[in-house]
Amino acid sequence: MDRGMVGSTSRGRLRVEVRHQGVSAVVTPAGELDHHTAELLREPLEQCVTDGRSRLVVDCSRLEFCDSTGLNVLLGARLKAEAAGGGVHLAGMLPVVARVFEITGAEAVFTVHDTLDAALVE
């Protein structure tokens, strides 16, 4: 089981870490995901799929805010991952972030897990 850090980036209000665990790429955004920070998440998600890691687990436990731009980044990643034979799993969403997914109905198109450990069960 590979738990090594393979990358991270940050810009003010959002930090994104990426690591590989088994067949999954675990992407952990921490902070605020919005119009100003969305590219910080889009780029590593797309790079994971390009690198052959199409099972993406987004650990949302440190994501404090997500607006429609952030939601669109995740929806775009879902389409690319599914086209490559994988998918996007969301884990550990805080209530304020989960509410965005509930209001928009986006929770219906993602596999949502209560915890990261649950999302990593393959």
- Give 42's contacts (C-beta < 8 A, 6+ positions apart): 73, 76, 77
Structure tokens that stand for 6 in this block: 């393979």
62 CA to centre of own chain: 11
Query: Residue ranges of the domains in the chain?
Result: 5-114
CB count within 10 Å of CB 117 equals 10
Report phi then psi at 69, rounded to 5: -65, -45
The pLDDT confidence band at residue 109, using thresholds 50, 70 and 90, is very high
Q: How far is CA 112 from the centre of its chain?
A: 11
Q: How far apart are CA 32 and CA 53, in angstroms?
A: 25
Report which residue type is found at 110: F
Tens of pLDDT, residue by residue over 34-83, are 999 999 999 999 999 999 999 999 999 999 999 999 999 999 999 999 99
Q: Provide the pLDDT confidence category of residue 2 given band limits of 50, 70 and 90.
A: very low
Tokens standing for residue 51? 């690198």
Whether the per-residue pLDDT at 84 is higher than 70: the answer is: yes
Give the integer Cα–Cα distance in Å for 56 and 45: 8
Under CATH, to which class is 5-114 assigned?
alpha beta
Handedness of CA 50, 53, 54, 59 (dihedral sign): negative
